[in-house]
């Protein structure tokens, strides 16, 4: 019988590097990432089971040694958080909608984010309204 070896597992999602576009500056600490870009500044706390390192224009998320499966789980989460921070300060966020049915009407007016939602009921209305009030761009792809 052989003795088990301790190896560090990695997440398939987490091992992909996150590119940092030009115009975005990133500050890393042990459990926090701060990014500043054309759309503003954003900071996010990261799980304590991962390490983030900058190599060139990419950020690499790695699990801390000796954590096994737990490190791999948090590696994927941390990579997604890092990617969202970078995307938010460089491009911003947007929501694409498909409205299906008859009698539906969507409006988004000016920068004050006045949204006409009288055609929508329930949870979807709350989501649309919250997104518009938060300043997230909303795109209407098609109405069928």
The domain limits of the chain are 18-90, 94-143
Asked whether the predicted pLDDT for residue 27 surpasses 50, the reply is yes
User: pLDDT grade, residue 3 (50/70/90)?
Assistant: very low
Asked whether the predicted pLDDT for residue 4 surpasses 60, the reply is no
Q: Rounded to whole angstroms, how far apart are CA atoms 105 and 12?
A: 41
Q: Give one word for 127, left, alpha or beta, with left for phi > 0 and alpha for psi -120 to 50.
A: alpha
Q: Rounded to whole angstroms, how far apart are CA atoms 120 and 133?
A: 16
The first and second tokens of residue 66, run together, are: 């000796």
- Please state which of the four CATH numbers 3.90.930.12, 3.30.465.10, 1.10.540.10, 3.40.50.720 is assigned to the domain occupying 18-90: 3.90.930.12
The first and second tokens of residue 108, run together, are: 């988004």
What is the average per-residue pLDDT within 98-118? Answer: 53
């Amino acid at each position: 019988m052989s003795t088990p070896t301790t190896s560090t597992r990695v997440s398939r999602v987490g091992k992909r590097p996150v590119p940092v576009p030009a115009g975005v500056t990133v500050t890393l600490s042990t459990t926090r990432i701060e990014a500043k870009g054309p759309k503003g500044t954003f900071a996010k706390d990261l799980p304590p089971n991962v390490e983030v390192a900058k190599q060139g224009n990419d950020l690499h998320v790695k699990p801390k040694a000796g954590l096994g499966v737990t490190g791999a789980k948090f590696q994927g989460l941390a990579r997604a958080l890092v990617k969202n921070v970078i995307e938010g300060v460089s491009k911003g966020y947007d929501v694409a909608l498909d409205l299906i049915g008859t009698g539906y009407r969507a409006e988004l007016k000016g920068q004050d984010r006045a949204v006409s939602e009288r055609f929508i009921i329930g949870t979807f209305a709350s989501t649309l309204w919250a997104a518009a009030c938060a300043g997230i761009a909303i795109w209407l792809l098609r109405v069928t």
